[in-house]
Structure 1
Amino acid sequence: MTQWGKRADMVVHESDPFNAEPPPGALAGAVLTGLDSFYSRNHGPIPDLNPETWELVVDGLVDTPLNLSLGQLRDRFVEQTLTATMQCAGNLRAGFLKVRDIPGEDPWGPGATSTAEWTGVRLADVLSAAGLQPAAAHIAFEAPDVSQLATPPQAYGGSIPAAKAMAGETLLAWAMNGEPLTALHGAPLRVVVPGWIGARSIKWVQRITARREPSDNYFQATAYRLLPPQADPTHAGPGVGLSLGAIALNSAILSPDDQAHVQAGPLEIAGYALAGEDRGVARVDVSIDGGDRWVQAELVSQPSAWAWCQWRTTVLAPPGDVEIIARAWDTTAAMQPESAAQLWNPKGYVNNSWPRIHIHASARIAS
């Protein structure tokens, strides 16, 4: 184990704030991601909050503002458990770096995606108890972790549309995989917004505000926005670009490792696919000949509508250097775009192009 109880082979992009992902193989074949492998994305120091004194404030466009302790949340509302995948908006940014540099951004691979069983209460139930008013179109969240990325520095925050907040899948969670949240993952309480980028699942949430407009927090209004290729992100102010919300259809090859040396012949290939929002994964194709021929992978498991689908297939790897390509289709019949070059943007978000890895297959020696 290393920092924050993570496995020793985590790929650490930054130590302070702590940003790390597991190696791809650690995610292969696992429906739930262990706490030691779950990726971590942070924008400032990790708060250490006392659950005995912590309090959640619910205010804004509500009839009855609330101040709730963790115990009151547990006592007043029905406990819910949901399996959902969380994915960083910068997942697979490393693929963009092969197209063009992205200064100042972490080179996330496919491991900035993890799945957990979340336990807590429905955000909709809490908002209903507060008397959410019809004028409330957005629900904003505020946390205590102060980030130096904003000028001047400010606490992390963001918002989601009221319709998503009132959907039954959006939770205020105090546990993951049957264990109390750790400080790293948002204790004592965090928001879980299934099907949306991880940036909207605010950790250490301490205030929920019903508003007419989206949050004006830096991480909603300026960061986590898809900019056009020619834009300069250092001069892009609030409202520039497209605000990121629902996850785009994507997939990853988790095994074998990129640049692995294997034996020619039968080779198992495994990965995940994730459709985002409430779309399902309908099909995953794999090619080892540059896309001339494709085999359809077996979809192994998708534990809920809000979770990834693990997939696998076996191919006959020829001797020599082999490129393995995958592509996913969702239940709307949409397919991943082919090229990262077509998607490149100056913040490195939403790389959902076909995943590609390269291996070297050695000929088998006759006995």
Structure 2
Amino acid sequence: MPGVKGPSDYSKEPPRHPCLKINSKEPFNAEPPRSALISSYVTPADLFYKRNHGPIPIVDDLERYCVSISGLIENPNELFMKDIRMLPKYNVAATLQCAGNRRTAMSKTRKVRGVGWDVSALGNAVWGGAKLADVLELVGIPKLSSTTQSGGKHVEFVSIDKCKEENGGPYKASIPLSQATNPLADVLLAYEMNGESLNRDHGYPLRVVVPGVIGARSVKWLDSINLIAEECQGFFMQKDYKMFPPSVDWDKINWSTRKPQMDFPVQSAICSLEDVHAIKPGKVKVGGYAVAGGGRGIERVDVSVDGGKTWMEAFRYQKTGIPYIADDPSSDKWAWVFFEVTVDVAHSTEIIAKAVDIAANVQPEKVEDIWNLRGILNTSWHRVKVGVGHSNM
């Protein structure tokens, strides 16, 4: 790709925030402390989780950088940054979440493969850029199309990023054309994050943001866009990020029997307390995040301090002090919701949170019921053990 290159080693990695918990150094995968997540509705770029599959690409000439659009279309083209910036700019608040968020807890049930994430493999940002629907219109694909004249039904995003899973080839993923051409789906070619240019870790100079979908489909360091008849055949679409039942292990896996995972199920986690946290008896503030895929709002967050026997409904908000209303025009439909409730804790116990979305989907109680060999989509009730005693515990 002119102007941008994917290095073959890790000698030119960008600087990172020292508070990040590093889960893998090469490639770099790290998450912030859980308490940092709920300190800000919009996650600062340096505290936003880092999910990488290879060395971070380097931009050496932004003027020469362009994205090719080709495949099953009548008018293939190349777009430079100036072309993309000429399109109407949209700012979309959207939470991106790695499909492996909370994998560590799932691995305690039975061993799984993958990066060992705690509860912070997600973040919420205001992404700025052009809508993919507008970009595709430039090459003759009308809005709300489900197929091109030449039979293209999926939009494949190919990265500059090189990874071993693709045998040194680029990372890639796809979404249906019907989603890509729907302006209400808010799929962006983003060049800004929180009002500033993307940094290298988050896809500079240009990335895809697919709201409401697992983070693996929001391809960074965009190299090309291909209109294809079938789903992308890349490793991360066909041999990874698929949800298998608990009965399937590595000896009897058949990847072709499952569809690539797209929407994220309803999820929540307590971030105000660590596991195991020593606290004084009395009133304790329990806070965290809740988020659902597909733009489904959060209808309720329930918190229990007695192992799930009784529940209290938490206060939900996106803007501090202002009650959140699911599906209200004032709410950010693709973004997480914070919750908060003050509880009485008299003795050592397990505090639990579970969220419910507007479709009445609720987090499953037991991680065992959703265990899968890749450790993805752990959306079971989030549990934090607290020890109650004196301050010198």
TM-score range normalised by the length of the shorter chain: over 0.9
Partner of 1:56: 67
Deviations along 1:252-297, one digit per CA (max 9) or x if unpaired, are 1101122111111010000000011121000000000011110000
SS for the counterpart of 2:69 is strand
Q: Post-superposition shift, 1:124?
A: 0.4
Contact kept? 2:157, 2:219, Cα under 8 Å: yes
Paired residues, number: 359
Q: Post-superposition shift, 1:144?
A: 1.6
Q: Structure 1 vs Structure 2: percent identity of aligned residues? A: 37
Partner of 2:33: 23
Contact kept? 1:158, 1:219, Cα under 8 Å: yes
Q: Post-superposition shift, 1:62?
A: 1.9
Q: Post-superposition shift, 1:201?
A: 0.1
Please give the alpha-carbon distance, in whole angstroms, between the structure 2 residues aligned to 1:120 and 1:46: 21
Q: Post-superposition shift, 1:235?
A: 7.5
Partner of 2:135: 126
Equivalent residue in structure 2 for 1:187, among 204, 216, 226: 204
Residue identity in the other structure for 1:177: N
Contact kept? 2:279, 2:390, Cα under 8 Å: no
Equivalent residue in structure 1 for 2:153, among 117, 122, 137: 137
Q: Post-superposition shift, 1:242?
A: 3.2
Contact kept? 1:195, 1:278, Cα under 8 Å: yes
Matches within 5 A, 1:50-199: 50=60, 51-75=62-86, 77-103=87-113, 105-132=114-141, 133-134=148-149, 135-150=151-166, 152-168=167-183, 169-199=186-216
Partner of 2:356: 329
Residue identity in the other structure for 2:36: A
Q: CA, structure 1 residues 313+29, in 2 after alignment: closer, same or farther (shift >3 Å)?
A: farther
Deviations along 1:86-143, one digit per CA (max 9) or x if unpaired, are 000001101111201114x111111001000000000000111111225321100101
Q: Post-superposition shift, 1:239?
A: 2.4
Give the TM-score, by structure 2 length: 0.88
Contact kept? 2:299, 2:356, Cα under 8 Å: yes
Q: Post-superposition shift, 1:318?
A: 0.8
Partner of 2:316: 299
Please give the alpha-carbon distance, in whole angstroms, between the structure 2 residues aligned to 1:216 and 1:162: 16
**Which ranges of structure 2 fall in alignment gaps of 5 or more residues?**
1-12, 142-147, 319-323, 325-330
Q: CA, structure 1 residues 191+234, in 2 after alignment: closer, same or farther (shift >3 Å)?
A: farther
Contact kept? 1:259, 1:357, Cα under 8 Å: yes
Contact kept? 2:289, 2:337, Cα under 8 Å: yes
Q: Post-superposition shift, 1:311?
A: 0.6
Partner of 1:353: 380
SS for the counterpart of 2:156 is strand
Partner of 2:9: none
Q: CA, structure 1 residues 186+70, in 2 after alignment: closer, same or farther (shift >3 Å)?
A: same
Q: CA, structure 1 residues 209+229, in 2 after alignment: closer, same or farther (shift >3 Å)?
A: same
Partner of 2:366: 339
Q: Post-superposition shift, 1:237?
A: 6.1
1:309 aligns with 2:324: no
Deviations along 1:49-82, one digit per CA (max 9) or x if unpaired, are 232221100111222111011112112x111111
Residue identity in the other structure for 2:115: D
Please give the alpha-carbon distance, in whole angstroms, between the structure 2 residues aligned to 1:138 and 1:173: 20
Q: Post-superposition shift, 1:348?
A: 0.4
Contact kept? 2:295, 2:334, Cα under 8 Å: yes
Contact kept? 2:204, 2:220, Cα under 8 Å: yes
Partner of 2:7: none
Q: Post-superposition shift, 1:210?
A: 1.0
Please give the alpha-carbon distance, in whole angstroms, between the structure 2 residues aligned to 1:234 and 1:191: 35
**Which ranges of structure 1 fall in alignment gaps of 5 or more residues?**
none
Please give the alpha-carbon distance, in whole angstroms, between the structure 2 residues aligned to 1:63 and 1:154: 27
Please give the alpha-carbon distance, in whole angstroms, between the structure 2 residues aligned to 1:260 and 1:124: 47
Q: CA, structure 1 residues 259+160, in 2 after alignment: closer, same or farther (shift >3 Å)?
A: same
Please give the alpha-carbon distance, in whole angstroms, between the structure 1 residues aligned to 2:72 and 2:387: 60
Contact kept? 1:222, 1:236, Cα under 8 Å: no
SS for the counterpart of 2:46 is coil
Please give the alpha-carbon distance, in whole angstroms, between the structure 1 residues aligned to 2:19 and 2:369: 32
Residue identity in the other structure for 2:207: R
SS for the counterpart of 1:199 is helix
Please give the alpha-carbon distance, in whole angstroms, between the structure 2 residues aligned to 1:235 and 1:332: 34
Equivalent residue in structure 1 for 2:261, among 223, 234, 244: 244
Give the TM-score, by structure 1 length: 0.94
SS for the counterpart of 2:82 is helix
Please give the alpha-carbon distance, in whole angstroms, between the structure 2 residues aligned to 1:350 and 1:300: 24
Partner of 1:200: 217
Moved more, 330-339 or 235-244: 235-244
SS for the counterpart of 1:220 is helix
Residue identity in the other structure for 1:155: P
